[in-house]
A and B are shown apart, each in its own frame.
Chain A
Amino acid sequence: MKIDIRNLHKDYNGSGVPALNGVNLTIEHGELVALLGPSGSGKTTLLRSIAGLESPTSGAILFDGQDALHQDVRDRNVGFVFQHYALFRHMTVLDNVGFGLSVRPRNRRPAASEIDRRARELLALVQLDGLEGRYPSQLSGGQRQRVALARALAIEPSVLLLDEPFGALDAKVRKDLRAWLRDLHDRTGHTTVFVTHDQEEALELADRVAIVNRGQIEQIAPPLALYRSPATPFVYEFLGSVNVLPVDVRDGKAFLDGCPVPLADAAQGTDAGAYRMYVRPHDLRLSEQRTPGSGALGVLQNVRLSGGLVRLDLKLDLIARPIEVELPVSDPRWSDWKKGDKLAIAADRFHLFPQAA
């Protein structure tokens, strides 16, 4: 099902800060979308609004073009998975999964044997067959979350919403469930929206990632596009690490510490003035200083080995914080460099944002 969200606002009484401040978002049929943002950004409020667990102050939510905002949560037919599972602890796993079917109005309620069959089928789908008779307290965290997912899928929801589904699980289980959820989505094809504050999770799992900040969508894009071309400084800083350098733009060139850095074609029309250059650590190039003016000069402060990468901290005169550069371990030069060496810095890929922003 396609979900359209138009200019959604939500004010919590008294706080003064709106939880949602004009959200526009379209989620295509069968898409897997992540809502990613820092805590308090409004991502959970947005998800709960789609489910009908929160009432937005104004705006519109459309399911396949039909107004959903004025529909009760019971009638929206959404599958919702809570961070802390929210299982019914006095019911067996089987009864938990069958609950949604067993509370249907009598004329739409399947026979008890049919409910039983469907619940078992779903438990097989989430690889929990054999645990039908257990109670939630007898399951591990990962198993509980899979029961919660099976329970949500039992009502054949038109959209599946997950609120930090792996937030309460340990790292290993998280990784397993992530791959498993992606696989499940590919097989069942539910339109799925999930909230997370874990960027790795969002980038790995989602078709598109929406970055939520201060009650607004900063950017929505496929993971790679989001990482490579962040639309705002916030997205740049939120996703991965980034260096921020002050530059001056004039004559179609950016000047870092007085040294020219060539601008990409797309940035050729940039007005002259002061800008901030956002550049990823792995998009910076280092070279030993041979000729004057080959790049801005940095003093090597620190070299750290981290897995397949070498991280180097360099101090530039014009900013207080050292900048970070990443090189592959296979780069032969770094082992010769020592603390205090002066190295020239150049940037391959970067974005410029106006100084004032």
Chain B
Amino acid sequence: MSVLASARRPARVIPGFGITLGFTLAYLSLFVLIPLSTVAFKTIDMGWSGFWGVLTDPRTQHALYLSFGTALIAALVNAVFGLLIAWMLVRYTFPGRRLIDAAVDLPFALPTAVAGIALTALYADNGWIGSILHGLGLKVAYTPVGIVVALVFIGLPFVVRSVQPVLEDLNLDVEEAAATLGATRWHTFSRVILPAALPSLLTGFALAFARGVGEYGSVIFIAGNLPKVSEIAPLLIVIRLEEFNYAGATAIAALMLAISFLGLLAINLLQAWNRRRTGGE
């Protein structure tokens, strides 16, 4: 009987493929695909000329440029320092390590508006850090630099939590092997540790970048929100909504969606290429 059954349909060793695939599709549709597709439909409603109008609006262009630009810079900053923090947490044991480890997650837990207000208070011209920087001629709050600061804060845990398990998995003996072969610390880092951590670093970077693009709560407090200077795209969407310009709002959203999707796709392709290159795990 079982022989006949397996002849008709090849048996899978891991059970439950059908049900998990069905669930995944239903779940994704309900929470991701259907809501996002309404964005596309709503945008189509406004017609090509209306969409073109939004696309060529300098205010929209600048907001998009600012959102993606600051998210990119913040994700790059986080990639560097997140790797450093993850490294330190994995490699060394010292009193208070658990505390620092836990503190990394705080940006996840904190309402982002609270973070935005706290950062603004610190970095405003009369704040603790802001006053010092102001003396040096640097202005952080109410400028694009302030946006980057907020996005660095928001994105840090993504990088640390992506890289940390991979570094934990990277045995100390690999570094020792590099040392016995005469590699300097820099060579050990650049030729051994970084390539091993790179896929996870890319993942963390992509997550931090995506989160930064969509971030709203913390940014609007520190950005100052001057049109064409420090106004981010998510804020412009909210402004359009408040003007009851729903089509205008969804058009910007559709643009953001398209750019984000292309960016994440590029990172995924890069990962796949890297996996293929090293013969998989």
| Interfacial residues, chain A to chain B (CB-CB below 8 A) | 51-53, 73-80, 82, 84, 86-91, 99-100, 103-104, 134-135, 137-138, 148, 151-152, 154-155
In the complex where A53-B176, A82-B173 touch, is A74 in contact with B183 (Cβ < 8 A)? yes
A155 touches B182 (CB 8 A): yes
Interface residue B6 (Cβ < 8 Å from any Cβ of A): no
Distance from B109 Cβ to chain A, minimum over Cβ atoms (Å): 35
A interface majority secondary structure: loop
Q: Can you list 29 A-B contacts with CB-CB less than 8 angstroms, sorted by A residue number?
A: A52-B180, A73-B180, A74-B183, A74-B184, A80-B177, A82-B177, A84-B173, A86-B171, A86-B176, A87-B174, A87-B177, A88-B196, A89-B196, A89-B281, A90-B195, A90-B196, A90-B198, A91-B195, A99-B181, A100-B181, A103-B183, A103-B191, A104-B182, A134-B279, A135-B278, A137-B279, A151-B181, A152-B181, A155-B182
Find residues 175-223 in chain B having any chain A CB closer than 8 Å to their own CB: 176-184, 187, 191-192, 195-196, 198
Interface residue B15 (Cβ < 8 Å from any Cβ of A): no
A-B contact count (CB 8 A): 79
**In the complex, which residues of chain A have a beta carbon less than 8 angstroms from the beta carbon of B95?**
none
- Closest A residue to B280 by beta carbon equals A137
| C-alpha gap A103/B187 in the complex (Å) | 7
B174 touches A86 (CB 8 A): yes
A53 touches B279 (CB 8 A): no
**In the complex, which residues of chain B have a beta carbon less than 8 angstroms from the beta carbon of A104?**
182
> How many residues in B have their beta carbons less than 8 Å from beta carbons of A?
22
| C-alpha gap A137/B178 in the complex (Å) | 18
| Interfacial residues, chain B to chain A (CB-CB below 8 A) | 171, 173-174, 176-184, 187, 191-192, 195-196, 198, 278-281
B278 touches A86 (CB 8 A): no
**In the complex, which residues of chain B have a beta carbon less than 8 angstroms from the beta carbon of A100?**
181-183
Distance from A99 Cβ to chain B, minimum over Cβ atoms (Å): 6
B171 touches A103 (CB 8 A): no
**In the complex, which residues of chain A have a beta carbon less than 8 angstroms from the beta carbon of B191?**
88, 99, 103
- Beyond A137-B279, A155-B181, 17 extra complex contacts between A and B, CB < 8 Å: A51-B180, A77-B182, A78-B180, A82-B173, A82-B177, A86-B177, A88-B178, A88-B191, A88-B195, A90-B196, A90-B198, A100-B182, A103-B182, A103-B191, A135-B279, A138-B279, A151-B177
